[in-house]
């Protein structure tokens, strides 16, 4: 069927090409005649154009250079003009075309094959032209079962598309329709009637895709009584959206359907196919005619919510909203994104927002879940809505909803649209959402990876799309809420043209304060009385704050160098807790700029340090040395947790430096770097074995931490320079930080599948005075490595480190400042 129809769809047809080698052409012979009613339903002469491809054999004419052995196109053109002028009213383009084809085949015996098109431009006001296409072959007159009437460029306005801006305004589409005209009957297809029915349908329709629109138009035409008599004849519909992609004249689809294939369409109520809709900003009408089955109440469904706040203590409002959600017996929180600060959209004159997303399981239907969200907003947290997009204490929006089979559910109701209609224009929704979903996850409507929509927004580089990733810190005394802030933008490489995400916020400096007698580089230097230690801390702060807005002091009471003898828990507490309290109580220290960290892998030490006043727990074991560590961090959601990578324990880590095989083995189902599937990129695999293994092993700890209640917003990642790595591996880690920061994978467990995404998790590197530097510089004494450390620190920042941990705060502050100016453009 499709091959047969294709023979009337081109100027050079498959039938003619197989039998004929020579053609004589007449293209668009112009004449005027009455073709029935014109665009204004008047019997006036219309311009029509005749085009003929006449298959013949002119080899003798070519050999003799004698025209009498060929077809004389001048004579034929004159004869055709005279033939058409003999009749005052041909009734239709189709009648004229059929009569012309009969005239040519009977009068000119040299025409073995004829392809004829008769085109009229003023037959219908909606269409550029209506034409009839006819094929005739002298030797096989019954080969073609039908002729074709073609309606070209039928232009109209309709509501179609998947993007928000398309849902709020109608747009132009054009149709090309090819109607088969059976040779069994003289009656031509009812062109005027078909156009009227199609125009009425399309201009009142509401579709997401041109595919669905084209299919439905085929159904509308197939319902016509004429085509029900010939259910085997193909109808062709081509739909183009004229303004969908500005660099084209139009994009769209076409389909070929036989009425018998779509006969069920005639029984479908038109209201199910489309809705008559006048679009406006307050009425976002998204069709949801398929895949809308929601399971029974006793089955667990999955949903993604976006949250936001910009009034009062924004972070506390978010925490309270999530806590209230988790108290619902019909809701289970699965994963929570990072939190981001963004400038307000739409209504600009308001304070910045704090946003994020949460993934949950629920027994509730979409409407029941909406009811719970509104209850939390308006009853629990006293939201007052003065106008759309205005300030709010909390906002909870359902952005996606899936049934128990993992199928996306589409909802189109007056007060509930799923997926959320504006999610694709908001970085503050897409960025946190992309932390929770695979890069392969397709948007339920656009069928395009959601992460690609995020990339497209970033490529436009609007100021309101910039985000600050926030890592919360405890609210000490009466001061305002505090956060570590990391701003990331899309940068276009001047040489390659590639777009990449880079952090442009100033690098945080973490000063090492070892209150121990046996640390590898400064053992005993700060192992003194409290007052001496305080003096050292004051000096360290002054040196850092001379160039930086904040300083982190990392207090350690137990050496973690490989093979060191470990202080007891009591000794570690005695060395650190009194000092932390003294620091927090000291009025000479700028407390608003001082961030305190405890360097420990013991949960009890961490717990006491948090009470004493620390903001960060720096755990070199990533929770692997103490099973209670994650519980302590989860109980304190405003504490920052540095999750480091290591292997084994203090006595065995340096023996475990072989990274040929992933620690997770065949549980890894799929891996991604920069949102690209790397399973088939063998070169990348060869060069990233180490960093991929580190990412996977940190990822396994991440899964455990999230399962124990730790929030993603609390985590900073440390790949663990010097811990279970040799000197070359340490250098490789620094070089491949961009891969680690964009690494994600899907891991299969016994009962479920987990997605681990390191996107947006800040990175700390601690190269200071490490042995690998001494290996390069030949400095045996760790204290002699400070100058080289400054160079390594600058390199770490150049490759993407967000925080560096150093001994020599005074000089490394300068290295950081210079590196920030070079790589981040900050001064």
Ranges 73-82, 437-446, 470-479, 612-621: which has the least confidence: 470-479
Residues, the chain: 827
CA 381 to chain CA centroid, nearest Å: 32
Task: Name the helix (H) or strand (E) containing 618.
Answer: strand 616-619
21-35, 522-536, 597-611: range with lowest mean pLDDT: 522-536
Q: How far apart are CA 732 and CA 739, in angstroms?
A: 11
pLDDT, mean over the chain: 84
Measured over the CA atoms of residue 370, residue 373, residue 374 and residue 375, the dihedral's sign is: positive
Say if residues 317 and 325 touch (Cβ distance below 8 Å).
no
Cis-peptide, bond into residue 419, ω within 30° of zero: yes
DSSP 438-452: -TTPBPTTT-SBHHH
What single string gives the DSSP state of each residue in 156-211? EEEEE-SSHHHHTS-EEEEEEEEEEEETT-SPPP-HHHHHHHHHHHHHT-EES-HH
User: How many other CB atoms are there within 10 angstroms of residue 683's CB atom?
Assistant: 8
Q: Give backbone dihedrals phi and psi of 392, rounded to 5 degrees, phi first.
A: -155, 145
Residue 672 banded pLDDT, cuts 50, 70, 90: confident
Position 272 scores a pLDDT of 38
2-11, 61-70, 410-419, 756-765: the lowest-pLDDT one: 2-11
Local structure of 286: helix, strand or coil: coil
Closest Cα partner for 190 from 273, 130, 262?
130
Using a 10 angstrom Cβ sphere, with 0-12 exposed, 13-18 middle and 19 or more buried, the burial of residue 348 is exposed
Nearest one of 176, 305, 313 to 250, comparing CA atoms:
176
pLDDT exceeds 70 at position 609: yes
> Residue 820 contacts by C-beta under 8 Å, 6 or more apart in sequence?
506, 507, 797, 826, 827
Average of per-residue pLDDT across 127-138: 88
Average pLDDT over residues 466-484: 84
Distance (Å, whole) CA 156 – CA 203: 7
Average pLDDT over residues 601-628: 96
Residue 156: band (very low, low, confident or very high) from pLDDT cuts 50, 70, 90:
confident
Q: Which of residues 559 and 118 earns the better pLDDT score?
A: 118
pLDDT-derived band at 435 (thresholds 50, 70, 90) equals very high
Range with lowest mean pLDDT among 302-316, 353-367, 487-501: 487-501
Contact present, 605 and 557 (Cβ < 8 Å) = yes
- Weakest-pLDDT range from 107-111, 146-150, 625-629, 675-679: 675-679
Question: Which pair of tokens denotes residue 627?
Answer: 């099973």
Kind plus residue range of the DSSP H or E element containing 431: helix 427-436
Average pLDDT over residues 474-499: 73
Q: In this predicted structure, what is the pLDDT of residue 8? A: 39
Average pLDDT over every residue of 703-707: 94
- Strand extents, DSSP E, 183-284: 206-207, 235-241, 251-257
Question: Would you state the pLDDT for residue 663?
Answer: 61
- 8 Å CB contact between 633 and 617: yes
Lowest mean pLDDT among 86-100, 618-632, 708-722: 86-100
Beta bridge partners of 156: 173
Average pLDDT over residues 284-313: 74
Q: What pLDDT was estimated at residue 82?
A: 93
* pLDDT tops 60 at residue 541: yes
Percentage, residues of the chain above pLDDT 70: 84
Q: Tell me the domains of the chain and their CATH numbers.
A: 1-144 (3.30.1130.10), 148-287 (3.30.1130.10), 301-471 (3.30.70.560), 508-823 (3.20.20.20)
pLDDT-derived band at 12, boundaries 50, 70, 90: very low
pLDDT of residue 11: 35
- The reported pLDDT for the residue numbered 384 is 60
Can you say how many angstroms the Cα of residue 227 is from the centroid of all Cα atoms in its chain?
Answer: 43
Quote the pLDDT of residue 21: 84
- Identify which has the larger pLDDT, 782 or 490: 782
Q: What is the greatest pairwise CA distance in the chain?
A: 120
Q: What are the pLDDT digits (tens) for 255-266?
A: 999 888 875 443
Q: Is the pLDDT of residue 560 over 60?
A: yes
816 or 463, which is more confident? 816
CB 501 within 8 A of CB 483: no
Q: How many CB atoms are located within 10 Å of the residue 423 CB? A: 21
Residue 746 has pLDDT above 90, yes or no: no
The values of phi and psi at residue 417, to 5°, are -125, 125
- For 73, residues 6+ apart whose C-beta sits below 8 A from its C-beta are 24, 25, 26
Assess whether pLDDT exceeds 70 at residue 685.
Answer: no
**Residue 503 vs residue 468, higher pLDDT:** 468
């Amino acid at each position: 069927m499709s091959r047969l129809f294709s023979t009337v769809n081109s100027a050079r047809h498959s039938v003619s090409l197989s039998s004929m080698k020579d053609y004589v052409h007449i293209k668009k012979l112009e004449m005027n005649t009455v073709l029935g009613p014109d665009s204004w339903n008047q019997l006036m002469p219309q311009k029509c154009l005749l085009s003929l491809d006449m298959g013949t054999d002119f080899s003798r004419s070519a050999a003799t250079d004698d025209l009498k052995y060929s077809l004389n196109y001048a004579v034929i053109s004159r004869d055709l003009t005279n033939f058409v002028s003999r009749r005052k009213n041909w009734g239709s383009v189709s009648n004229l075309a059929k009569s012309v084809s009969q005239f040519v085949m009977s009068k000119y015996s040299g025409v073995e094959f004829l392809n004829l098109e008769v085109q009229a431009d003023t037959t219908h006001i909606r269409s550029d032209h209506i034409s009839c296409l006819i094929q005739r072959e002298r030797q096989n007159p019954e080969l073609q079962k039908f002729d074709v009437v073609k309606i070209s460029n039928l232009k109209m306005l309709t509501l179609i598309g998947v993007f928000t801006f398309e849902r709020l305004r109608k747009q132009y589409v054009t149709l090309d329709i090819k109607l088969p005209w059976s040779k069994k009957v003289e009656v031509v297809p009812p062109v005027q009637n078909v156009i009227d029915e199609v125009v009425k349908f399309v201009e009142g329709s509401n579709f997401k895709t041109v595919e669905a629109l084209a299919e439905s138009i085929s159904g509308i035409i197939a319902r016509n009584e004429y085509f029900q008599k010939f259910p085997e004849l193909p109808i062709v519909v081509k739909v183009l959206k004229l303004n969908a992609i500005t660099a084209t004249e139009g994009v769209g689809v076409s389909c070929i359907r036989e009425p018998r294939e779509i006969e069920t369409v005639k029984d479908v109520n038109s209201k199910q196919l489309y809705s008559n809709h006048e679009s406006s900003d307050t009425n976002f009408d998204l069709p949801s005619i398929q895949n809308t089955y929601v399971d029974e109440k006793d089955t667990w469904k999955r949903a993604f919510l976006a949250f936001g706040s910009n009034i009062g203590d924004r972070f506390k409002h978010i925490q309270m909203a999530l806590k209230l959600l988790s108290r619902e017996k019909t809701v289970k929180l699965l994963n929570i994104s990072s939190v981001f600060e963004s400038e307000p959209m739409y209504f600009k004159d308001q304070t910045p927002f704090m946003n994020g997303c949460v993934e949950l399981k629920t027994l509730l239907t979409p409407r029941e879940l909406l009811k719970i969200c509104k209850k939390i907003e308006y009853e629990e947290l006293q939201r007052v809505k003065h106008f759309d997009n205005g300030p709010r204490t909390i906002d909870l929006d359902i952005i996606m909803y899936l049934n128990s089979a993992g199928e996306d559910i589409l909802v189109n109701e007056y007060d509930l649209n799923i997926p959320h209609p504006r999610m694709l224009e908001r970085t503050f929704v897409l960025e946190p959402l992309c932390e929770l979903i695979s890069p392969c996850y397709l948007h339920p409507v656009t069928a395009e990876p959601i992460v690609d929509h995020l990339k497209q927004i970033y490529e436009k580089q609007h100021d309101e799309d910039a985000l600050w990733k926030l890592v919360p810190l405890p609210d000490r005394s009466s001061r305002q809420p505090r956060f570590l802030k990391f701003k990331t933008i899309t940068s276009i490489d001047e040489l390659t043209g590639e777009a990449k995400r880079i952090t442009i916020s100033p690098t945080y400096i973490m000063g090492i304060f070892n209150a121990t007698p046996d640390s590898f580089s400064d053992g005993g230097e700060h192992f003194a009385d409290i007052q001496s230690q305080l003096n050292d801390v004051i000096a360290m702060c002054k040196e850092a704050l001379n160039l930086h807005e904040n300083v982190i002091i990392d207090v350690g009471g137990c050496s973690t160098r490989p093979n060191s003898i470990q202080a007891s828990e009591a000794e570690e507490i005695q060395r650190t807790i009194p000092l932390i309290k003294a620091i927090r109580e000291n009025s000479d220290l700028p407390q608003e700029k001082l961030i305190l960290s405890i360097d420990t892998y013991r949960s009890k030490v961490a717990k006491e340090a948090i009470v004493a006043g620390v903001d960060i727990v720096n755990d070199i074991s990533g929770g692997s040395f103490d099973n209670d560590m994650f519980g302590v961090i989860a109980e304190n959601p405003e504490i920052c947790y540095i999750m480091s990578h290591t292997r084994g324990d203090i006595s065995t880590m340096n023996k475990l430096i072989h990274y040929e095989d992933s620690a997770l083995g065949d549980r890894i189902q799929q891996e991604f770097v920069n949102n690209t599937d790397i399973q088939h990129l063998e070169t990348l695999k060869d060069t990233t074995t180490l960093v991929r293994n580190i990412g996977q092993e940190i990822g396994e700890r991440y899964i455990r931490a999230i399962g124990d209640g730790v929030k993603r917003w609390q985590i900073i990642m440390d790949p663990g320079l010097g811990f279970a790595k040799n000197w070359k591996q340490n250098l490789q880690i620094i070089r491949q930080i961009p891969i680690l920061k964009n690494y994600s994978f899907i891991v299969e467990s016994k009962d479920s599948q987990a997605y681990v995404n390191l996107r947006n998790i800040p990175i700390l590197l601690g190269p200071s005075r490490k042995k690998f530097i001494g290996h390069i510089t030949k400095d045996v004494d760790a204290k002699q490595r400070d100058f080289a450390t400054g160079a390594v620190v600058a390199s770490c920042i150049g490759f993407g480190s967000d925080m560096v941990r150093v001994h020599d705060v005074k000089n490394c502050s300068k290295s950081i400042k210079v590196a920030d100016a070079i790589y981040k453009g900050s001064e």
